[in-house]
Structure 1
């Protein structure tokens, strides 16, 4: 958390919500808020109700100590990240804070789309479930974070192993199927590069998912998408979501196979006036990335996570959210 200097005047800044995606999930994420914060609970329940019978099982796995389906499985990680991101966004709004702009990472863009009014939460929840049940039939694989620039890794990429996300100048996520991703990772480690496995059993943002992702296009076409009512910087184009993109079924259905360009999107977001960046989801991964940006390093923009960095007891989760609320409501424009 970026705290103001004691006694110093703090300039109010417009709020930008950063909504995390695949890899940010962990057991117990935000569960300390469910049943304690009314807005958060009601928003999460909107998602679970929209899913019907599967919603009850997903909620039980999220809240339970022995989930029937592991958190990193595509049918849990994606829908629960969407749920927590959305519920926290509604919680921030309940504090009287209206975001000036939204930026989602990976599945976080779907939560951002709901907060921006592109989809209703009911439609988005059902679209998310349609997506993940399709992707559950996809090839085994995963993602690996490499401490290197994307261009540095190009000579090593092969066999559908690709740059899945550009997160920071020297943080690239590779994505691809087994066993090829493991082979590329072993080669990179032999070259002295630091590699870390991203929690996922699915090769998100790799072309091996393109055919399965495209099959969701009719489901997106069947709902009434609208142009965004709030500015939304797309993590796929690193530019504002256009009205045409917002209502294009192919745009949304293709995202699980498309490259995430988070750092270029953050550059766009922070290229003008200062922002109060709020990580609106589990963990502090996007906060850590944003701290590297010159706009934050120089103090022109600030960062504020809402939740602990990883698993924590329920009281700590609630305490962190309360502390974030106090800072945000005091220093948001």
Structure 2
């Protein structure tokens, strides 16, 4: 009689927090947690205390109808950074200890802050200066295209670059105007599906390098430390080594370089099973993750912490509770903490 095959328990899934960037912002993003969760509220209040015009930012964030310039760098970037970090802090303080952190665009700054590369105060000061510099960028934006880099190459016009590769058939084009409108028209005529991202500046475009060079003296360089948690970079598409994480040239150059979130996510998931938690507004990164083979076949899992858009009162708290209950059932994740902690 043959001996029974040895039983090998499935490998534990590593916990990954992902942080969205420009384009994920929306009216009252995560605002339902403000006043309902002590940790989240304290972090947001700290941000509003330190950011220039913090009272106006708070008012615009909590308004049912956001200000006309809500998608501009002056609103979107500070709020996204603060909300991403506040959500990450809420989870870690409640007992969820991430093994890996991965952010998209300004979400990478939030991930690095949670990993200890910056302090939150230093990150807020840097971002304030960053906003002051990059508001000088020419009017433009980004265009999401349901196609791969090779498919869009033939339609690019001068001044338009691939600003982000989010998935095998999901890229973001970046350009000042009128080049962005010109390429959008060409892509639609070619039958490609595209939509404007919520950005008023051409992020991850070489023009940002010129803007930074012209205003370099306005950017200070607070101390940097090696990350205490594994940090994957959507700029490099791989794990961030200590030397790069503590090199200010890397962070100062980020707005001019393409985002490689898709390659970074594929490399991360190739290393074994993971639980991906989107600690930010919306569900864009969760949607990208669910399209990967590893998540589609169930080896890894993807969980969004918040609804896709702001809903009825209590919707954010209910979504967090539901997400934490699901996480409590997934292999390798501790019991769900309370969002009120």
Same fold (TM over 0.5): yes
- 1:25 has 2:25 as partner: yes
Number of residue pairs aligned between Structure 1 and Structure 2: 324
Counterpart for residue 140 of structure 1: 139
- Contact 1:307/1:317 (CA < 8 Å) preserved in 2? yes
Counterpart for residue 125 of structure 1: 124
Separation of aligned partners in 2, 1:213 and 1:153 = 28
**Normalization by structure 2: what TM-score?**
0.91
What SS does the corresponding residue of 1:28 show, helix, strand or coil? Answer: coil
Which residues in structure 2 correspond to 1:152-191 (within 5 Å)? 152-191=151-190
- 1:315 has 2:308 as partner: no
Which residues in structure 2 correspond to 1:295-310 (within 5 Å)? 295-310=294-309
Separation of aligned partners in 1, 2:248 and 2:165 = 24
Separation of aligned partners in 1, 2:273 and 2:193 = 33
- Contact 2:134/2:212 (CA < 8 Å) preserved in 1? yes
Query: Over aligned residue pairs, what C-alpha RMSD do you find?
Result: 1.8
Q: Which moved more, 1:306-315 or 1:175-184?
A: 306-315
Q: After superposition, what is the alpha-carbon deviation per residue over 1:77-131, rounded to whole angstroms, capped at 9, x for unaligned?
A: 1111111100000111122110000110011000001000000000001111111
Separation of aligned partners in 2, 1:314 and 1:128 = 31
- Contact 2:103/2:109 (CA < 8 Å) preserved in 1? yes
Separation of aligned partners in 2, 1:65 and 1:96 = 32
Q: Which moved more, 1:58-67 or 1:136-145?
A: 58-67
Separation of aligned partners in 1, 2:13 and 2:323 = 15
What SS does the corresponding residue of 1:17 show, helix, strand or coil? Answer: strand
Separation of aligned partners in 1, 2:87 and 2:78 = 14
Separation of aligned partners in 2, 1:217 and 1:109 = 21
Which one has a bigger Cα radius of gyration? 2
Which residues in structure 2 correspond to 1:45-194 (within 5 Å)? 45-51=45-51, 53-68=52-67, 70-194=69-193
The alpha-carbon deviation at position 330 of structure 1 amounts to: 4.0
The alpha-carbon deviation at position 136 of structure 1 amounts to: 1.3
Counterpart for residue 14 of structure 1: 14
**Normalization by structure 1: what TM-score?**
0.93
Counterpart for residue 3 of structure 1: none
- Contact 1:28/1:312 (CA < 8 Å) preserved in 2? no
The alpha-carbon deviation at position 13 of structure 1 amounts to: 2.1
The alpha-carbon deviation at position 214 of structure 1 amounts to: 4.2
Q: After superposition, what is the alpha-carbon deviation per residue over 1:217-262, rounded to whole angstroms, capped at 9, x for unaligned?
A: 6666531111111110000111111111112111101111110001
Counterpart for residue 35 of structure 1: 35
- Contact 1:236/1:260 (CA < 8 Å) preserved in 2? yes
- Label 1:214 to 1:324 Cα distance change in 2 as closer, same or farther (>3 A): farther
The alpha-carbon deviation at position 199 of structure 1 amounts to: 0.9
Separation of aligned partners in 2, 1:49 and 1:80 = 13
What SS does the corresponding residue of 2:315 show, helix, strand or coil? Answer: helix
Unaligned runs of 5+ in 1: 1-8
The alpha-carbon deviation at position 200 of structure 1 amounts to: 1.0
